[in-house]
Amino acid sequence: MYLGDPNLVLHPTFDSYLELGSTIPSGFEGQIAFTLSVLGQNYVKEYDLTFPALLIEFTFKIPPGITGPTPADLTVNFAGFPEHDYRFQLTAVPEPSAFVLFGTGLALVYATASAIGKRKKQHC
C-alpha cells in the first residue's frame, strides 16, 4: 500500500492507535520527526537515532471526533533530507458495541438459515 494515496483509508487499532513504520535511508544517523496532522491538530513523534537502522515503527494516539473518513497528513523529516508529505484518510475506531451488534446479526442470520434448512427437510 502507498501511504501517499489520498483515497487510502487507514483504520486505527481497536484502542485508537495508528501504527506506522518507515524504512530509514542507508547509513542515516540523527534526528527523525513524524508529524500527523488531523482535525486541525499536529501530533509529533521525534526520535534520535545514534546508530544506523533499517526500519523504525511509530504509533500515534488517534484523537476523538473522527466519525468517518477524515483527511490526514503525515510529514516525515529525516534531518538533512528533504521533507516528505503523505496524504491519506483516517476512519473512526469501531465502538465495542458495533462488534456486539455485528456478532448478534451473524447469530441471527445463522439461526434463520438453520430454521429455513430444517423446514425444507420437513417438506421433502
Residue 99's domain spans which residues?
95-124
**Judgement on whether residues 56 and 41 belong to the same structural domain of the protein:** yes
Q: Is 90 exceeded by the pLDDT of residue 42?
A: yes
Same domain? 89 vs 109: no
Assess whether 20 and 31 both reside in one domain. yes
Measuring CA to CA, which residue among 74, 66, 98, 93 is closest to residue 22?
74
**Mean pLDDT, rounded, for 10-24:** 78
pLDDT of residue 7 exceeding 50, the answer is: yes
Mean confidence (pLDDT) of the chain: 74
Q: Are residues 2 and 63 in the same domain?
A: yes
Does 34 share its domain with 2?
yes
Judge whether residue 34 has pLDDT over 70. Answer: yes
30 SS3 class: strand
pLDDT of 118 above 70: no
Contact 78, 52 (CB under 8 A): no
The model's pLDDT over 60-112, given as tens digits with 9 standing for 90+, comes to 888 888 888 889 899 988 887 888 898 888 887 665 544 444 444 444 444 44
Q: How far apart are CA 124 and CA 114, in angstroms?
A: 16
Say if residue 49 is in the same domain as residue 13: yes
pLDDT (average), residues 25-54: 87
Q: What is the pLDDT of residue 95?
A: 53
Same domain, 48 and 107: no
Same domain for 102 and 85? no
